[in-house]
Chains A and B, each alone.
Chain A
Amino acid sequence: SQQGEEDPQALSIQEGENATMNCSYKTSINNLQWYRQNSGRGLVHLILIRSNEREKHSGRLRVTLDTSKKSSSLLITASRAADTASYFCATEGTNTDKLIFGTGTRLQVFP
């Protein structure tokens, strides 16, 4: 079964605005990762944050992790139409090497 729940399920914004997606999970983790998927394609790894980290940046991406609340957020700043895709969080648990994915957020960025 899928562990992560993402919020919102869908998000529509204008180019230049910021997009924030949230992810909650259930068990202890080693790390949490965010992936992007364009329609009908494979997943592309965006960023990984370890359980002992609270915030990480990569270009226009900012990820936060709150292990006490078992939640993470992904912020995409100054969004572009090309950011239109589905975004998934995925957790790697402490007793496993597999990733458990969330349900995803569908982001639509209008030009």
Chain B
Amino acid sequence: DTGVSQDPRHKITKRGQNVTFRCDPISEHNRLYWYRQTLGQGPEFLTYFQNEAQLEKSRLLSDRFSAERPKGSFSTLEIQRTEQGDSAMYLCASSPEIPGYTFGSGTRLTVV
């Protein structure tokens, strides 16, 4: 499978717990993006990497959120001290230098 992979597909966690999601982009894509989508809304930009450098972060990304992309390959998104408002679909996408995004199937987070 040469698409974008996200793991896990679903995550249910108790409020206050930490969660970590993983994204494996298409190998030759140097750009990687994280988006968040709530029910009935379009995806909202969270952050993006070019290779291992995190180039932009949204104001939506509070200090409880952190993203990494060590070695410019896979990326992780960690949410600390989860809140019910963090419940959403977290989408990862990758892209080469020219426009053209490939999205993963997402990780659906439910905070109870």
Residues in chain A within 8 A of chain B (CB atoms): 2, 4, 30-31, 33, 35, 40-45, 48, 88, 90, 92, 96-104
Query: Which residues does chain A contribute within 8 Å of B99, judged by CB atoms?
Result: 30-31, 33, 48, 92
Interface pairs A-B: 8 shortest CB-CB? A101-B42, A42-B103, A42-B105, A43-B103, A101-B43, A98-B45, A104-B42, A88-B42
Most buried by A among B44, B100, B103: B103
Q: How far is the CA of A97 from the CA of B30 in the complex (A)?
A: 12
A103 — nearest CB in chain B belongs to which residue?
B42
Query: Does B109 sit at the interface, judged by CB under 8 A?
Result: no
Query: Which residues does chain A contribute within 8 Å of B93, judged by CB atoms?
Result: 43
A99 — nearest CB in chain B belongs to which residue?
B101
Q: How far is the CA of A98 from the CA of B103 in the complex (A)?
A: 13
Contact B108 A40 (CB under 8 A): yes
Q: How far is the CA of A45 from the CA of B91 in the complex (A)?
A: 14
**Of A4, A41, A45, A48, which one neighbours B42 at CB under 8 angstroms?**
A4
B104 — nearest CB in chain A belongs to which residue?
A42
Binary contact readout B3-19 vs A (1 if CB under 8 angstroms, 0 otherwise)? 01000000000000000
